[in-house]
Amino acid sequence: MPAERTDMDLLDRLPAVRGRMEKDVTLGRFTWFKVGGPAEVLFRPADEDDLAEFLSACPPDVPLTLIGNASNMLIRDGGIDGVVIRLGAAFSEIKQDVSLIHAGAGAADINVARRARDGGLAGLEFLSGIPGTIGGAVFMNAGAYGSEMANVFVSCRAVDRSGDRHELSSDDLAFGYRRSALDPGWIVTSVTLHGSLAEAAEITRRLDEIQSDRDASQPVRTPTGGSTFKNPEGDKAWKLIDAAGCRGLRRGGAVVSEQHCNFLINDADASAADLEGLGEEVRRRVKAHSGVTLEWEIRRVGNAGNKAIGEVIS
């Protein structure tokens, strides 16, 4: 059991940092769903050294939560206790070394794909279809359009809860479908990926194909969190959701996308409770219809809060 928290203001208990540290920061503005309560404290480290020094001196009973672009995350209405760590511009640099791409963990997946294109490096185009950061992509072995991180991963650097740094290989991470063996308490700070040299025109063509497919098949212009549920083995989540009659299902301001029913949309000032409640209703109906229990792909974090949940409207 962690040590008992004191009544002292959390900021007073935390070590000095070179980066930015603030109290009671609303997190909804950082998330793709545009919902979420406040962080008790939000810390944006200046660099890896600043992060490691903070972690080594942070009291062990203080909860830590990492967020990136929060594209596949639902932050509950009551916010997040403890310290929320967000890797910003200092962790967004992308460099190329022949067939290798070295990217800070805060770099957007699409920017990694574009940097590879500019350097004539193929094999990373699928990243343009994943709305997140490269550090998060490693943690969940993100994939799309026929490829996934496990196919291009070389190594990553990570800092553990004690501030110690580690260099991890593909074997260390033991990638599986939408998962890795990375300790959830460790923070990836940089990633090295590999590709193959190719003509920039061919890479551009593939990127354009992916963008066109996303525009046609996914609700990319609305507040959403990407794929809501993992595909069960041998099946597609969207097909099960559609067969259970959930396309267009609504709860409060949240709705199951008509365009792609494995996406939930914040359609009209939804609360996080609306979105999570709608997702649970979808899971219930799919289970009743097909016997399949859908597993959340979206990461749900934080406290429930006290916002009322809208009624389900078929």
Q: Which residues are catalytic?
A: 178, 227, 297
Name which of 186, 172, 290, 184 is nearest 229 in CA terms: 290
Name which of 135, 149, 142 is nearest 186 in CA terms: 135
Residue 251, C-beta contacts closer than 8 angstroms, at least 6 positions apart: 274, 275, 277, 278, 281, 309, 310, 311, 312, 313
Q: Annotate 36-75 with DSSP letters as a single string.
A: --EEEEEEE-SSHHHHHHHHHHS-TTS-EEEESS-TTEEE
**Widest CA span in the chain:** 60
8 A C-beta contact, residue 256 and residue 247 = yes
Residue-wise over 90-105: b if at least 16 C-beta within 10 A, else e? bbbebebeebebbbbb
For tokens 């990319």, the residue is 220
The SS3 call for residue 141 is coil
For tokens 């998962």, the residue is 179
User: What's the rounded Cα separation, in Å, for the pair 159 and 156?
Assistant: 10
**DSSP letter assigned to residue 82:** E
